[in-house]
Amino acid sequence: MDNRRILIVDDNHDIHQDFWKALGEVTKPAGGEALGNLEDALFDDEPTTSDSSVKEPGVDELPYALSSVHQGQEAFELVKTLSEDQSFAMAFMDMRMPPGWDGLVTTQNLWTVDPRILVTICTAYTDYTWDQINTSLENQSLYVFLKKPYTIADVRRYAAALVTAWNLNHHLKNYFETSSKKIPQNQDTILSEILACVCRHTGWPCGHVWKIDPNHSSTLVSTDYWYLNKPGSFSSLQSASKDLKLNVGEDLPGEVLENKQSIWLEDIKNKEKMGRFQGSSMGVASGFSFPILYDDQVVAIFEFFSGDVQSKNDILLHLCNLLGPKWGPLAILDT
């Protein structure tokens, strides 16, 4: 079962109540007091509903298990007492929490007892520059920024994306630790497992892997590694991709190779240089793609497609940019 435990760290009790409402809980958080609604202070006044015809992978309606603390030291003491199977997937971390630790110090201390926790740093202030925060937290774990004011939709999107990222990493870590004791692992089995894991956890119905041509580092070669949630689906796309080679800048994977960054296309058929989709969408409405990097070099590219329009999820794209280099050392194995 996926870990859906979220820790909320903020010195303002009312803000906890709003987080609990945003993430699907209607009861008062433990230790909190319903002193009123601070949605005008915490949340922007954008509408929280969206076009029901636009689906967003990674944002689901499964319940979260929420916990609230009001000081950084409380968060540290709580996390320190938890067993591995009780750990939090992520934390929403306020930056200013007088009189105790601020969010930066709290995050640094949390990672000394559980470096797996993914952190969203929430702030409206400039006590630290972004460069100072990045330098302090560099190479420790995954973290993202959420600048106040933000919408309820933002909170839900960040929660879904970080919980997904935590479970992706956890699943893959367990898979490789367990399976490597039974069968030798090579690049092909590793890439196939990462592909399937990303599709299952994000909800994309179709996934495909491209590899670098061993003779030309600027050329991508289509592989036979596909994930399909329904057998026989996306058959036209599979046929158009078979034995295909792409140069830098060509089609969706070629753009990712050129930029070494993830890309999301809500309307793929109207995007230029999408060679496979010129003249026919092949039943594909949206797609996204991200690179697997090792030593800052692309070793593979994953692409994902859906027949439904998928609204762009910037935080999921950002997390894929962070995860790609972490998975790179696995992807170069060839035993």
Residue 256 has which token pair? Answer: 């990712």
Tokens of 86: 């009780």
Where does residue 146 rank: exposed (0-12), middle (13-18), buried (19+ CB within 10 A)?
middle
pTM: 0.79
pLDDT of residue 184: 54
> Peptide bond preceding 99: is omega within 30 degrees of 0, i.e. cis?
yes
Looking at residue 26, its pLDDT comes to 44
Q: From the centroid of its chain, how far is CA 303?
A: 15
Cα 151 from Cα 2, distance rounded (Å): 26
Calculate the dihedral angle through the C-alpha atoms of 27, 94, 11, 33, rounding to the nearest 10 degrees. -10
Return the pLDDT at 45: 45
pLDDT of residue 135: 79
User: In the 8-state DSSP scheme, what is residue 264?
Assistant: E
Low-confidence stretches of the chain (pLDDT < 70) are: 25-61, 125-126, 138-141, 179-185, 279-281, 333-335
Cα 208 to Cα 117, 249, 279, 303, 306, distances in angstroms = 29, 18, 21, 5, 12
Laid out side by side, the sheet with 65-69 consists of 65-69, 5-9, 90-94, 118-123, 143-147
Supply the Cα-derived Rg of the chain in whole angstroms.
21
The whole-angstrom separation of Cα 162 and Cα 317 is 11
CB 16 within 8 A of CB 10: yes
The span from the CA of 330 to the CA of 185, in Å, is 9
In a 10 Å sphere around its CB, with 0-12 CB exposed, 13-18 middle and 19+ buried, how is residue 82 labelled?
middle
Burial annotation 206-245 (CB, 10 A radius, 16+ → b, else e): bbbbbbbeeeeeebbbbbebbbbeeeebbeebbebbeeee
C-alpha distances in Å from residue 303, one per residue of 5, 90, 162, 181: 29, 26, 20, 29
> Could you tell me the fold of the domain covering 184-331?
Beta-Lactamase (3.30.450)
CA distance 26 to 32: 13
CATH number, domain 5-169: 3.40.50.2300
Give the helix/strand (H/E) hosting 293: strand 286-294
Residue written as token pair 């400039």: 126
Check the CA dihedral 154-157-162-165 and report its sign.
negative
- How is the chain split into domains, by residue range? 5-169, 184-331
Reported residue count of the chain is: 335
